[in-house]
Copies of this chain bind each other. A is one copy, B any other.
Amino acid sequence: MNKSADTEHDLNTLIKNRWSPRAFDPAAKVTKAELEALFEAARWAPSSNNSQPWRYLYGIRGDATFGKILENLKPNNARWAFRASALAVAVARTKKPDGTVEKTGQYDTGQASAYFSLQAQHRGLSVRQMAGFQPSIAEALAIPADYTPMAVIAIGGRGDAALLGDETLHAQEVSIRTRRPLAGIAHNGEWSADFEV
């Protein structure tokens, strides 16, 4: 299924063709080495003062960590994410060692996850990120209080939309990708009324 973005300007192929499926192939497997090759991309993201405030905990389908992450997803995500080859939790350092706020912790972690996702696309793997998880995921994975779980990332091979076995999910899977118009996110000048439409 090709869901190449209908762009207003020419785009790099990885960015143009990436999208976030829910239908993962339950037979597809990824190895630890293959996942490490994706985290290598996250590793090289930029960050404020090169602070690298991102951490990733991951499980491979069948292992205990995969089970713990899956258990802590909200039901509307768990019902499809169990087919992913791996699940990772993106964690941002939100407090510095001296107790002050790490202002760019979340922003920089988002960048690292973007690099991760595009590297996955480069390797022919798909990624879907979810904010829909239970706060209990922090305790389940022994994440310290100075760090905040930002997203769970499902990684795997794309499967047939029919796998989803649900009409609404199926419709979302095959729908065209949409975005705000360019004028709604970028403006040469100060704040634009188009930003709030």
Show the binding face of A for B, using Cβ within 8 Å.
5, 7-12, 14-16, 18, 20, 32, 35-37, 39-46, 48-50, 52, 54-60, 63-65, 68, 88, 90, 92, 103-104, 106-115, 117-119, 122, 129, 131, 140-144, 150-151, 177-180, 182, 185-192, 195-196
Q: A46-B20, A185-B52 are in contact. Are A107 and B92 (CB under 8 A)?
A: yes
For the complex formed, measure the closest distance between the CB of A193 and the CB atoms of chain B, giving whole angstroms: 11
Are A129 and B40 touching (Cβ within 8 A)?
Answer: no
Are A186 and B129 touching (Cβ within 8 A)?
Answer: no
Are B186 and A58 touching (Cβ within 8 A)?
Answer: yes
* CB-nearest residue of chain B to A94: B106
From A110, A113, A188, A189, name the one whose CB has the most chain B CB atoms within 10 angstroms. A110
A185 proximity list for chain B (CB < 8 A): 39, 42-43, 52, 54-56, 112
Enumerate 12 A-B pairs (CB-CB under 8 Å) in ascending A order.
A18-B46, A46-B117, A48-B131, A52-B179, A64-B189, A106-B107, A107-B109, A107-B113, A107-B151, A114-B115, A142-B191, A144-B196
A140 proximity list for chain B (CB < 8 A): 190
A15 proximity list for chain B (CB < 8 A): 41, 44, 115, 118-119
CA distance A107 to B94 in the complex (A): 12
Are A191 and B144 touching (Cβ within 8 A)?
Answer: yes
Are B52 and A11 touching (Cβ within 8 A)?
Answer: no
CA distance A160 to B11 in the complex (A): 28
Are B114 and A182 touching (Cβ within 8 A)?
Answer: no
CA distance A49 to B131 in the complex (A): 9
Are A182 and B57 touching (Cβ within 8 A)?
Answer: no
A111 proximity list for chain B (CB < 8 A): 110-111, 113-114, 117
* CB-nearest residue of chain B to A92: B107
